[in-house]
Structure 1
Amino acid sequence: MLSIRTPSSIFVRIYGGLLLVISMVALSTYLLIQVVNDHRAAEYRESMATGFFRLVAVGIERQPAGTLRDAWLEEASTLMDNKIVLVDAKSADFDSTEQITLLEGRAVVRVNVQHNYADIFSLVSAKEQLYLKARMSKVSEQQAKAMAIFLLDDLEHYQGQETQRLTQLQSYFPFPLRIVSLEKSGLEPDQRARIKRKEVVLALKEGGAARHSSIRIIAPSKMAGHVLVMGPMYLFDWMPVQLLLIISAVSLLVITSAAYFIIHPLEKKIKIVEGAARRIGGGDLGARAEVFGRDEVSQLAHAFNSMAEHIQRLIDSQRELTRAVSHELRTPVARIRFGMEMLADTDDVDSRFEQLALLDGDITELNKLIDEILTYAKLEQGIPVLDFEAVDLGHLLQKVAKETLALGVKPKVTVVLPPEGTVVEAEQRYLHRVLQNLAGNAIRYATSEIRLSAGVYDNCAYIAVEDDGAGIPEKDRERVFQPFTRLDDSRTRASGGYGLGLSIVSRIAFWFGGQIKVEESPNLGGAKFVMTWPIKQRHRNNFKLNS
C-alpha cells in the first residue's frame, strides 16, 4: 500500500507548502477569471444585442404578415449584411431560461465557438410565438450604422415625442440614447459635414485600456439642428479593475490562511517546547515537551526531552550517590577508626601487626568503593570516550575466567566458548569490566558453579553469566540495576559488594547501544545476566537503548 509521508524539513514544509498553495491559487485564479469573464462576455453580448434586435423585432411586428413583412425582412437583412428569418418556439427549441429572457424583451445569444458564429433570437410576438433569428459571425461598421437607421425608423412613428420614446427604449440598451444639438455633439468639422449629408457617423475615442475606448453612433435627426447620439459604447474589458481587486483580495486571503495553517502547528510546537523549558527552569524537572512529528521542531523537542531526562537522571543520581556514599563510607571509616584505637591501646608487636593488616584490608576496601563510585559517576555524567575495536569474545571469556579462578573462589567456573574467530566491535576495557563485574556478582551468590558464555546472532553480540544460586525474583529484576541496591533475601550485605557493579554494567550497555537483562538460568537454575549490543556500531539504531 502506497503511503505518503509528511515532509520532515521545515524548509520543505513551509516553502514547499506555500509554493504549492500559490500555484494552486494561481491556477484557481486563472480558471475563475475564465469562468467569470465567460459569464461577463455572455452578458455583454446579450446586452449589446438586446436593444438592436428589439428595434428589428418592433419593426417586423409593425408589418402585416405576408409580402410586406417578407420585403421588410429582406431589406433589413441587406441593411445588416446578415440574413434575418422568423422562427417559432418549437423550431428554436428554447429552454426555460431562454424563454424567460425572451419574454422580458431581452435577446438570447447562442455562441458556437467551434464555427465562430452566434445565433441571436428576439421576441417578435408573444401571441403568435414568433421570433426573429440572425446568425452573426462578426460586428461591422455597417451593422452599427444599421442600428442607427432602425432607431431613426422607429422614431418616425413618434414624431414630436422622440425624447419620450428614447426614454422607453433606454431599458433595452446598455448605453445612453439621446438627441442633442449639433453644436454640442462634439463632432469634428468633417463629421458635421457628413451629418448634413444625412450620413451616419461613427466616432471612435481611443483610451489607454479597453475600458477607456468607446464608440459613438451619431445620426441626423428629423429635428432641425439636432442629431441622434447612441453611446458611448465601451468595448468589453477582459480585466476590469474591480475584478482584479476582488481576485487579488481573495487570493491574498487564501494564501494568508494557508500560511497560517502551515506555520501555526510549528509555532504551537515551539511554544510547547518553550513552556517545558520554563517549567524546568522553575524547578519542575519532570516537565516534558509533548510534541509529535518528524519535522525539525519535533526533533528538537525529542532532543530537549532526552536532555531533560538525562539532567533529571543526573541530579537524581547525584542525590542518591551523595546519600549512598555517605552511608557506605561509614563502615570502612568506622573500622579504620576502631583499628587505630586498638593499635594505640596495645603494646604487643604481634597484635600491632594484626591490626595493621586489618587496617590495610579496610583501606583496600575503601579504595575499591571509591573506584566503583568514580567509575559509575563517570559513566553516568555523559558520553564517555569509547574506542571501539575488534574484540575476540573467546579470548575475553578465557581471560576473565582465569582472573576469577586466581581469586581462589570456591564455585566452579565453566566457560562456553563461541566458534573460533568470533570477533565483535566493542570497547575492550569496558567490555572486560562488564564480564568481570558479572562474574564477581555470580561468584558471591553461586552455590557450586558459574558459567560464562558469549556469541553473536542477528547483527548483535552477547555475553552471558549464569550461577546456580537462589536467583532473583522477577519483581526485583529491574531494581538490581539501580545504584546501591541490595535485595532482602540471600543477596544481602553479608554477600559483600556495594550495589554499584550491576549499575556500572547497565550504563556500559547503554553507551554500547545495547541492553542488559536478568532472567532465570535454564541450565543452572539461578540468575542469568545477558548483555547484548550491535556487532557493528552502524547497526546501533536497530536497538532500543536501555536508559
Structure 2
Amino acid sequence: MTRLFIQFYCGVLLILFIAWVIQAYVFRGTTEAQNISVIETALSGGALLARDEIAAGGIENFDETLAGIQARFAYPVSVVERSERSLSETLFQRLDEGEAVLAGESIYVSLTGTSRLVELGPLPRFVGPRRSDILLGLTSVFLLVALAIAILLRPIARQFRSVERTALAIAEGDFAARIEGTGRRRSLPIVGAFNTMADRVESLLRSQKELLQAVSHEFRTPLARIKFATELVRSADTDEKRNQRVDSIDDATDKLDDLVAELLNYTRTDEQSQVAPRERVSAKGIAMDAIGQHAPLHPDIEFEPPAGAEEIDLVTYEAGLVRALGNLVGNAGKYAQSKVRVTISNGSNRVQFLVEDDGPGIPPADRRFIFEPFHRLSGDSQPGTGLGLALVRRICRRLGGSVTVDDSPLGGAAFKIDLPQSLLPMPRHSMVPGRAAGR
C-alpha cells in the first residue's frame, strides 16, 4: 500500500511538473514574442529617422549629425560595425530588407550602403516581472501544491493501509479483524463497506459451521436406520421380513433425499452470484398460488382465501415470497384440525400476510427456537426436515422483512410475514423455490 501511495504521489508531482514547464514555455514563447513585436513597432520610427539623418549628413558631418541625434533621444545612439554584434542570420536578413529589429536590449537598423548598424540602446527596461521572478513564482506554487497533496493524501493512505492490514488478517483466518476508527477524521466509505462485508462473511461462516454441525447430526439418524436395516436384511428368514426391512431402507433413503433437497433450498437463499429479479405482483395472487399448491394435499381441511385484498400490490421477488408463504400454508394444513385462514393487510408502505390454523398451536417457550434449522417440536409426529421455518425466516430477511408467530383466534398458531411494499433496491441474493418442509 505504501508503494502504491508513493507511485500515486510521484505521478501527481510529474503531472504538476509538466504543467509548470508548459506554463513557462507558453509565457516565454507568447509573451516575449508579443513584447518584441510591440517594441519594434514603437521604436522603429525613431531608429529609421536616426538612420536617415546620418545618411543625409554625409560622412564629413558624421560626428555632428550623431551628436545632434543623441541630444534629442533619451537613450544612447551609436554607429557600430556588423561584426561587432552577434546577431542571427534571420535578424541580418531583416536588417538588409530595411527593417528595425530588437536584439537584447537595443534596437538596430542597417545604415544603407555600408557595413555599419545604427544602434539605439540599451533601451529603458519595461516595468513588470522578470523571467526569473516568474519562474520563481511558478516553482513556489509547484512546491506548495506538492506539500498540500501530501498532507491531504496522508490520512487516506493511512486508512488504505488499515484496509490492507485487515484484509491480510482475514485472509490468515482472523475473521474477527475489523478496521478501527480513524478518530476525528472522517472515514472513507470503503472503510464502512469493508467492515460490513467482513461482518457478513463472519456471519455466513458461523452460520455455515452451525448448519454443518446440525446436518451432520440429522444425517446420522437415517444413515443409522439404513445400516441397521441392511444388517437385518441379511438375517431375515422369510420374504415378508426381508420386504419390511427393505421398505424401511426406502423410507430412510426418502428422508435423506428430502433432507438434501431442503438443505439445498436453504443454502441457495444466501447465494450472491445473481441478482434476484423483482417485479410488481398481486398480494392476493401470491396467497392464492400458495393455497393452490397445498390445498389438494389436505382435502379434509378448509382453506379460507384472503378477502378484499385485490388492490394490494407489492414489488418483490415473487418466487421467494411464494416459497415462504407456501411453507407456512403447508405447515398450517398439516397441523390444522379443520381450517386454515390466510389474510392480507397493508399500511405504512408495508404488506402483512397472516396464516392461521386451528391446530394445537406452538407453546410460547418454543417460539424463539422454531425458526432455527432442524429444530422440531418435541413429540412432533408430522413428516418434515426441520428446515421449513428456517427457510421462511431466511427468505423474509432477504426480502427486507420478518416472520413472527403468535396465538390465533382459531385456537392454533398464527404466522405473520411482514414485508416492505416496494423492495428497492433488491438484495443481491438468488432464491430458488423448492419443496415445502415441516415445522
Report the TM-score when normalising by structure 2: 0.57
1:369 CA drift (Å): 0.9
The CA distance in 2 between the partners of 1:367 and 1:393, in whole Å, is 32
1:495 CA drift (Å): 5.8
**Gapped runs of 5+ residues in structure 2?**
1-11, 24-61, 79-100, 107-121, 430-439
Question: 3-state SS of the aligned residue for 1:452?
Answer: strand
Q: 1:187-226 residue pairs with structure 2 within 5 A?
A: 203-204=75-76
1:515 CA drift (Å): 1.9
Match of 2:387 in 1: 500
Out of 503, 513, 530, the position equivalent to 2:416 is 530
Q: Deviations over 1:171-195 (max 9, x none)?
A: xxxxxxxxxxxxxxxxx9559968x
The CA distance in 2 between the partners of 1:543 and 1:314, in whole Å, is 16
Aligned letter for 1:516?
A: S
Match of 1:453 in 2: 343
The CA distance in 1 between the partners of 2:237 and 2:349, in whole Å, is 66
Aligned letter for 1:518?
A: T
- Checking the alignment, whether the CA contact within 8 Å between 2:332 and 2:340 is kept in structure 1 is yes
Q: Deviations over 1:48-82 (max 9, x none)?
A: xxxxxxxxxxxxxxxxxxxxxxxxxxxxxxxxxxx
Q: 1:130-279 residue pairs with structure 2 within 5 A?
A: 203-204=75-76, 235=125, 237-240=127-130, 243-279=133-169
Task: Identify if the C-alpha distance between structure 1 residues 372 and 321 changes in structure 2 by more than 3 Å, giving closer, same or farther.
Answer: same
The CA distance in 1 between the partners of 2:354 and 2:386, in whole Å, is 19
Q: 1:422-441 residue pairs with structure 2 within 5 A?
A: 422-441=312-331
Aligned letter for 1:335?
A: R
Q: Deviations over 1:293-333 (max 9, x none)?
A: xxxx9555555445544443443343333322221011112
Q: Determine whether 1:331 maps to 2:221.
A: yes
The CA distance in 1 between the partners of 2:127 and 2:304, in whole Å, is 98
1:373 CA drift (Å): 0.9
The CA distance in 2 between the partners of 1:275 and 1:208, in whole Å, is 65
The CA distance in 1 between the partners of 2:275 and 2:255, in whole Å, is 27
Aligned letter for 1:464?
A: L
Return 242-251 or 499-508, whichever deviates more: 242-251
The CA distance in 2 between the partners of 1:192 and 1:402, in whole Å, is 120
Task: Identify if the C-alpha distance between structure 1 residues 235 and 421 changes in structure 2 by more than 3 Å, giving closer, same or farther.
Answer: closer
Larger RCO (CA under 8 A, 6+ residues apart)? 2
Question: 3-state SS of the aligned residue for 1:434?
Answer: helix
**Gapped runs of 5+ residues in structure 1?**
1-14, 27-187, 214-231
The CA distance in 1 between the partners of 2:352 and 2:103, in whole Å, is 83
Task: Identify if the C-alpha distance between structure 1 residues 447 and 408 changes in structure 2 by more than 3 Å, giving closer, same or farther.
Answer: closer
Q: Deviations over 1:377-399 (max 9, x none)?
A: 22223345745556444344345
Aligned letter for 1:514?
A: G
- Checking the alignment, whether the CA contact within 8 Å between 1:314 and 1:381 is kept in structure 2 is no
Match of 2:406 in 1: 520
- Checking the alignment, whether the CA contact within 8 Å between 1:339 and 1:355 is kept in structure 2 is yes
User: Which has the greater radius of gyration?
Assistant: 1
1:209 CA drift (Å): 11
The CA distance in 1 between the partners of 2:248 and 2:158, in whole Å, is 65
The CA distance in 1 between the partners of 2:336 and 2:411, in whole Å, is 10
1:434 CA drift (Å): 0.9
Question: 3-state SS of the aligned residue for 2:141?
Answer: helix
Out of 368, 372, 376, the position equivalent to 2:262 is 372
- Checking the alignment, whether the CA contact within 8 Å between 1:418 and 1:455 is kept in structure 2 is no
Q: Deviations over 1:268-313 (max 9, x none)?
A: 4433332222122221223344689xxxx95555554455444434
Task: Identify if the C-alpha distance between structure 1 residues 526 and 471 changes in structure 2 by more than 3 Å, giving closer, same or farther.
Answer: farther
1:246 CA drift (Å): 4.9
Q: Determine whether 1:540 maps to 2:434.
A: no
Aligned letter for 2:267?
A: A
The CA distance in 2 between the partners of 1:336 and 1:303, in whole Å, is 48
- Checking the alignment, whether the CA contact within 8 Å between 1:389 and 1:425 is kept in structure 2 is yes
How many equivalent residue pairs?
A: 332
1:525 CA drift (Å): 7.7
Task: Identify if the C-alpha distance between structure 1 residues 410 and 384 changes in structure 2 by more than 3 Å, giving closer, same or farther.
Answer: farther
The CA distance in 1 between the partners of 2:326 and 2:209, in whole Å, is 27
Task: Identify if the C-alpha distance between structure 1 residues 463 and 543 changes in structure 2 by more than 3 Å, giving closer, same or farther.
Answer: farther
* Identity between Structure 1 and Structure 2 (%): 29
Match of 2:6 in 1: none
- Checking the alignment, whether the CA contact within 8 Å between 2:278 and 2:426 is kept in structure 1 is no
Out of 346, 349, 373, the position equivalent to 1:483 is 373
Task: Identify if the C-alpha distance between structure 1 residues 516 and 235 changes in structure 2 by more than 3 Å, giving closer, same or farther.
Answer: same
Task: Identify if the C-alpha distance between structure 1 residues 472 and 422 changes in structure 2 by more than 3 Å, giving closer, same or farther.
Answer: same
Match of 2:31 in 1: none
Match of 1:416 in 2: 306
Task: Identify if the C-alpha distance between structure 1 residues 480 and 237 changes in structure 2 by more than 3 Å, giving closer, same or farther.
Answer: farther
Task: Identify if the C-alpha distance between structure 1 residues 202 and 269 changes in structure 2 by more than 3 Å, giving closer, same or farther.
Answer: same
The CA distance in 1 between the partners of 2:156 and 2:299, in whole Å, is 62
The CA distance in 1 between the partners of 2:67 and 2:400, in whole Å, is 106
Task: Identify if the C-alpha distance between structure 1 residues 429 and 252 changes in structure 2 by more than 3 Å, giving closer, same or farther.
Answer: closer
Match of 1:381 in 2: 271
Task: Identify if the C-alpha distance between structure 1 residues 357 and 544 changes in structure 2 by more than 3 Å, giving closer, same or farther.
Answer: closer
Q: 1:313-332 residue pairs with structure 2 within 5 A?
A: 313-332=203-222
Report the TM-score when normalising by structure 1: 0.47
The CA distance in 1 between the partners of 2:146 and 2:275, in whole Å, is 50
